[in-house]
């Protein structure tokens, strides 16, 4: 019976992925709920959420479905599901949505990892102040001296950036 559920789930997941690729979102929505294994259902739901976000669609209801399903799993599998969705959203540039995922994760360490990944994405986009604030580092002062640029953070850590490679 378990083997049948696994194969059925995998076949349905493959169908979901093909339907997403073909842009058949309504068919995907009706199929996802019938995937027997929750872990596979979450993987399909995660892909749907990222696809909808990429298309500019409202994902709140699907995030709610994701959260309730993920929270019904054991602690480890739940954490993996939350992290996977958040990383997919971050990769696509949806940092606000990833932060929403972080707020729903029951595991504080995974929530912190998600926030750190968002901060990295923000920093790479040039949103330095926001990235530092997210990581709990308040004000940042920029000091320029010759070819080096230094950021003195309130935590007294010094970050140095140079225009020359050593």
Q: What CATH number does residue 8 fall under?
A: 1.25.40
User: Do 109 and 45 lie in a common domain?
Assistant: yes
Q: Mean pLDDT throughout 88-109?
A: 96
Q: Mean pLDDT throughout 61-85?
A: 95
User: Do 86 and 19 lie in a common domain?
Assistant: yes
User: Do 30 and 75 lie in a common domain?
Assistant: yes
User: Do 12 and 47 lie in a common domain?
Assistant: yes
Q: What's the confidence (pLDDT) of residue 1?
A: 62
pTM: 0.79
Kindly report the backbone phi and psi dihedral angles of residue 136, in degrees, each rounded to the nearest multiple of 5, phi listed first. 85, 15
CA distance 155 to 141: 11
Please check the confidence at residue 2 and state whether its pLDDT lies above 80. Answer: no
User: Do 95 and 157 lie in a common domain?
Assistant: no
Q: Would you place residue 55 in the very low, low, confident or very high pLDDT band (cuts 50, 70, 90)?
A: very high
User: Do 14 and 36 lie in a common domain?
Assistant: yes
User: Do 120 and 152 lie in a common domain?
Assistant: no
User: Do 40 and 108 lie in a common domain?
Assistant: yes
User: Do 92 and 66 lie in a common domain?
Assistant: yes
User: Do 81 and 160 lie in a common domain?
Assistant: no
Write out the residue range of the structural domain in which residue 114 sits.
2-135
Q: To the nearest whole number, what is the mean pLDDT of the chain?
A: 86
Q: Tens digits of per-residue pLDDT, 103-162?
A: 999 999 999 999 999 999 999 999 999 999 999 875 555 444 445 444 444 443 444 444
Q: Which residue has the higher pLDDT, 165 or 136?
A: 136
What is the domain count for the chain? 2
Whether the CB-CB separation of 9 and 35 falls below 8 Å is answered with yes
Q: Tens digits of per-residue pLDDT, 6-31?
A: 999 999 999 999 999 999 999 999 99
């Amino acid at each position: 019976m378990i083997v049948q559920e696994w194969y059925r789930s995998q076949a349905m997941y493959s169908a979901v992925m093909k339907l997403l690729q073909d842009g058949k979102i309504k068919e995907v929505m009706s199929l996802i709920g019938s995937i027997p294994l929750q872990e596979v259902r979450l993987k399909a739901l995660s892909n749907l959420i990222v696809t909808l976000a990429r298309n500019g669609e409202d994902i709140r209801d699907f995030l709610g479905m994701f959260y309730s399903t993920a929270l019904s799993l054991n602690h480890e599998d739940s954490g993996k599901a939350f992290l996977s969705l958040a990383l997919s959203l971050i990769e696509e540039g949806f940092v606000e949505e990833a932060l929403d995922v972080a707020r729903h994760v029951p595991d504080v360490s995974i929530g912190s990892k998600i926030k750190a990944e968002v901060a990295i994405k923000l920093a790479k986009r040039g949103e330095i102040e926001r990235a530092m604030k997210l990581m709990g580092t308040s004000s940042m002062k920029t000091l320029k001296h010759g070819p080096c640029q230094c950021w003195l953070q309130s935590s007294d850590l010094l970050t140095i950036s140079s225009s020359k490679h050593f």
